[in-house]
Structure 1
Amino acid sequence: MQTHTADAIVVGAGPAGATASAYLADAGLDVALLEKATFPRDKICGDGLTPRAVRELVSLGVPHPESEGWIRNRGLRLIGGGHLVEIDWPDVAEYPPYGLAMPRTGFDHVLARHAESRGAALVQGASVTGPVHDAGGRVCGVEVKHVDGRGRATGERSTWRAPVVLAADGNSARLAVAEGRTRREDRPMGVGVRTYYTTPRSNDDYMESWMELWVDKDPRDPGAGRILLPGYGWIFALGDGTSNVGLGILDTSPAFGTVDYKDVLRRWVATLPPEWTFDEEHRAGDLRGAALPMALGRVPHYADGLLLLGDAGGMISPFNGEGIAHAMEAARLAAELVAQAHVRGDAAARDRVLARYPSAVQDEMGGYFRLGSVFASLIGHPEVMRLAVRYGLPRRTLMRFLVKIMAGLAEPHGGGIDDRVISTLARLTPSA
């Protein structure tokens, strides 16, 4: 068994892990980025990036030209209650006035290559099986089982050691669980399912969200009436001849855990116009689902040498299910503190610096996520959701405000009255 050393080990090369690795390598650290799969690899996601995520791409220095598979969108289209409303992303100083979309097979690979270009050592086929501890019980590395491109064990094992480990290993949160950091049951959880279709709707200027999923009770009997399925749907154009189509449901819904989400998606798309070609003949990918841990639902985000980033720390917004932007934000915060800790002269001094990470995360997103938790609780009631859609969608001023709050696009400094209202609400909402 080989033993390797580094200044920092990052587990998982998704948006959080790749972003942290790029920043750490830029700061001059020897970074090992361990990824269990082999690129390009798929991840279950809507593939859409709000302006909040685009800001992180710009800060990271990742170009996103259309010629390389990126497609821009100008806002959000909301459909429900017999209404269709298109709201452009706000043109504010803090965030770019556009969103992006790219399949995760390409997006994650772009970020991983960017981290490599900055000097991070990307190790693919490295399945982390558990943490390594020093004599004091502190995490000081990880054990790795090496696998091939199909996930089959090669028989090779290795140990990686570093003063700090950053866990960006997704919603399974294997390292966090190994350290006894269980999910908080008082924080919302979601489920998302998605697939791809070849479609003429592949070049849409708007990300599309269906706030109600109505289907016929009996497709063979038009007079049988309709029923409202749980959750909300999305259609995100990818510009490559396909669209990502999916739905999400929160555990605040009475139907959570009691329905076949893949069947719900099939029944919903069957009601859409046939010219969109959202049918089995034109399905271009597997129909897959994943859990969405929300609202900082796994803590502490730092203890004993191990930091949690992205889905591993429950960094998904309860407002809209977005995780990429917050994963990259947390990675930026973590990398700055790890770099500062690296130059400290002893372990105790390094730990004092790293111990600031949980409060940095709370300051960045804690109040906003708790406000989102209240929102998730409200819309989990079907009648509340129906009333909100029926009477809220026609009011464009209200919808512009809601899009800004749901996508986390309020300007933290200055801005208009809506920005100040959102900032005040987030600040007054308890984040602990």
Structure 2
Amino acid sequence: MHEADVEADVVVVGAGPAGSTAARYLAASGRRVVVLEKSAFPREKVCGDGLTPRAVRELDLMGLPTPREDGWIRNKGLRMLGGGVRLQVPWPDLAEFPGHGLVHTRSRFDEALARHAVAGGADLRERTSVTGPVVDERTGHVVGVRARPVDDKGRKAGEETTYRAPVVVAADGVGGRLALSMGLAKRDDRPLGIAVRTYFKSPRHDDDWLESWLELRDGAEGRDGKGTGGLLPGYGWVFGVGDGTSNVGLGILDSTAGASDLDYRDLLRRWLAGMPPEWRFTPEDQVGPVRGAALPMAFNRTPHYTRGLVLVGDSGGMVNPFNGEGIAYAMQSARLAAQAVDTALDATEARGRERALQSYPAAVRADLGGYYTLGRVFVSLIGHPEVMRVATRFGLPRPGLMKLVVKLLANLADPTSRDATDRVVVALQRMAPAS
């Protein structure tokens, strides 16, 4: 076949967690899958590198091994600091989810998933930048994409190729260029987070808890969370990577008053100025620059399927508004999308194919819609630092309440459990409209 016209069953744009997950499932089902990735592995991505049990479950479902010798570091639960309180809450013991989380750097994580997709039969084409969709003029449906090879600087390095398929999966991240080209702009009624992070050589690199700072002080707080510095917006984290470094960063909601005017790197510096010196969160021990990224939350781009184009992961705004977690939901949405696409490709006529593809947005809305609606309410409250301060000082000293909070924040509740905290979280999600 001439390279100018590559045929496939599915074209996946982007080889992040969502794209590689969708590609793995579809290729393993016998579909011809081409994955187009503008970068080359390993590549840098801004992330906290922490995986909750929800993300670990997705890795387990797709059969990706996570041995410690390959850099997968297990954690026991969430340590929360704020208001002078330090509380550790283990991950809940649930039948549906594993009892541990993981830490794995995104550069290694994304490559592991991409290689897993290739091992399942996907055709991965790195340094291939998509320039636009191919649209059937008669139906208005996407029937492929145009793409060209690029060098390590993103510059054109070859001639444009057309990749044709009856279904295209957009997994091209927060920018959503493919979705934008089809008229799908982000929704202004959904929250947007900003995350900045860097790495430090630190003795805390082997911490087996994910640490979350719910109250940030301006250069005056130590380990116990006490201090006199001014209250900063957002939340912070310290995740041990296990390789001699810690991933340290902070997240801020763009709904915070004046958030768009904030210097996020300066906020990180001011917060870290108050850390105990023995942790070595200092410029001298910093590894790499401070990097930032947007976190598209709570379905901030919809519909998740239209005219042959399926949106998964960040391109569809799948980030959890409660905790900024994106990987678990990228993989979950991709798994659901793969199921719908696989069914659609078996359809013998156009109406049946469309019905199958439309089942994907319905499925993701049923799974996450009510929860994300609750998350938007949560975001509107904690966007105010004083509200967060009061909630932290009231909640953290109450372990029973914080057990419920962790289940809500990490979306880890068992609908079949008789545990009161599970029943409360599940009831809240069911009562919230799945919009």
TM-score range, shorter chain: over 0.9
Alignment counterpart, residue 213 of structure 1, candidates 206, 212, 216:
216
Is residue 8–residue 166 contact of structure 1 (8 Å, CA) maintained in 2?
yes
In the TM superposition, residue 415 of structure 1 has moved relative to its aligned partner by 4.2
Residue-by-residue CA offset, 1:146-179 (whole Å, 9 max, x unaligned): 1123322203211101000000000000011111
Q: Secondary structure at the match of 1:414?
A: coil
1:252 aligns with 2:241: no
- Residue 348 of structure 1 deviates from its aligned partner by 2.4
Report the residue type matching 2:98 in the other structure: P
2:81 corresponds to which residue?
Answer: 79
What displacement does 1:216 show? Answer: 4.5
Cα deviation 1:35-75 (Å, max 9, x = unaligned):
00000001111110000000000000000000111000000
Aligned residue number for residue 153 of structure 1: 156
| 2:333 matched residue in structure 1 | 330
Pair 1:196-2:174 in alignment: no
Q: Distance in 1 between matches of 2:398 and 2:256?
A: 25
The corresponding residue for 1:230 is 233
Instruction: Name the counterpart of 2:51.
Output: 49
The 3-state SS of whatever aligns with 2:175 is coil
Amino acid at match of 1:100: L
Q: C-alpha deviations, 1:208-254, integer Å up to 9, x for none? A: 0011111159xxxxxx9621111110011110111111000012321
Q: Which residue of 2 aligns with 1:220?
A: none
Amino acid at match of 2:380: S
- Which blocks of at least 5 consecutive residues in structure 2 are unaligned? 221-226
Q: Does 1:111 align with 2:113?
A: yes
For residues 353 and 225 of structure 1, the distance between their equivalents in structure 2, rounded to whole angstroms, comes to 57
Whole-angstrom distance in 1 between the partners of 2:363 and 2:112? 27
SS of 1:155 mapped into structure 2: coil
SS at match of 1:297: coil
Q: In 1, distance between residues paired with 2:159 and 2:129? A: 11
CA distance in 2, matches of 1:415, 1:63: 32
Secondary structure at the counterpart of residue 46 of structure 2: coil
Partner SS, residue 199 of structure 2:
strand
Gaps of 5+ in 1: 218-223
Q: Percent identity?
A: 56
Corresponding position of 2:223: none
Letter in 2 for 1:364: D
Query: Match of 1:59?
Result: 61
**What is the SS of the residue equivalent to 1:316?**
coil
Aligned-partner residue type, residue 25 of structure 2:
Y
SS of equivalent residue, structure 2 residue 200: strand
CA offsets per residue over residues 281-335 of structure 1, 9 Å max, x none?
1111221111111001100000100000000000000100001001100011000
> Taking structure 1 as the reference length, what is the TM-score of the superposition?
0.97
The residue aligned with 1:183 is 186
1:272 paired residue number: 275
Greater Cα shift, 253-262 or 167-176: 253-262
Is residue 219–residue 273 contact of structure 2 (8 Å, CA) maintained in 1?
A: no
Whether the aligned pair in 1 keeps the contact of 2:130 and 2:148 (CA below 8 Å) is yes
Tell me the SS of whatever aligns to 1:236. strand
- Equivalent residue for 1:365? 368
Instruction: Quote the offset at 1:89 in angstroms.
Output: 0.4
Amino acid at match of 1:388: A
> 150-159 or 353-362: which moved more?
150-159
Partner of 1:316: 319
Match of 2:126 in 1: 124
Q: Structure 2 CA distance, aligned partners of 1:73 and 1:152? A: 40
Distance 2:230 2:219 in 1: 6
Taking the TM superposition and a 5 Å limit, the aligned residue runs for 1:25-40 are 25-40=27-42
Asked if the contact 1:230/1:255 (under 8 Å) is kept, the reply is no
Amino acid in structure 2 at the alignment position of 1:254: A
Q: Is the deviation greater in 410-419 or in 65-74?
A: 410-419
Deviations 1:56-114 (A, max 9, x none): 00000000000111000000010000110011000111110100011000000000000
Q: Name the CA distance, whole Å, in 2 between partners of 1:155 and 1:39.
A: 19
Q: CA deviation at 1:191?
A: 0.4
* SS of equivalent to 1:312: helix
Structure-1 separation of matches of 2:417 and 2:7: 46
- Partner Cα distance (2:75, 2:240) in 1: 9
The answer on 1:300 being equivalent to 2:303 is: yes
Asked if 1 retains the 8 angstrom alpha-carbon contact of 2:35 and 2:125, the reply is: yes
1:374-420 superposed Cα distances (whole Å, 9 cap, x missing partner): 11111112221111111110100000110011000001333422111
For residues 118 and 105 of structure 1, what CA distance do their matches in structure 2 show?
20
Asked if 2 retains the 8 angstrom alpha-carbon contact of 1:70 and 1:100, the reply is: yes
C-alpha contact (below 8 Å) 2:192/2:297 kept by paired residues: yes
